[in-house]
Amino acid sequence: MNLKKTQESLVNWGKKNYRTRSGKPSTQGKDATGEPYLPDKMHASVSPSKYAAATKKKRKSLAKGEASARHGLLKGKSA
């Protein structure tokens, strides 16, 4: 079956096993952390300072009511 580009993107997203570093939800529920989601393979390669900066950007965009944040950690990366 041929998938649309957006459908392929979602399938690939699921295969990469994205998660937050803490393992807690990023945006939903009372335990939401506001952390960015990254593929498992990227967590070890991102420095704590870059991850903190990305988390700060994501929390700021969430406070504005935006659905996502351009934190820059995934730009040009493949995991």
Residue 5 counted as domain residue? no
Q: Which structural domain, as residue segments, surrounds residue 79?
A: 16-25+32-66+75-79
Would you say residue 51 has pLDDT above 60?
A: yes
Per-residue pLDDT, 77: 53
Give how many domains the chain has, as a whole number: 1
Average pLDDT, the chain: 85
Residue 50 lies in a domain: yes
Residue 59 domain-assigned? Answer: yes
In a domain, 1, yes or no: no
Determine, yes or no, domain membership for 61: yes
Dump the DSSP string for the chain.
Answer: -PPPHHHHHHHHHHHTTEE-SSSS-SSSSTT---PPPEEHHHHTTS-HHHHHHHHHHHHHHHHTT-S----SSSTT---
Answer whether residue 6 is part of any domain: no
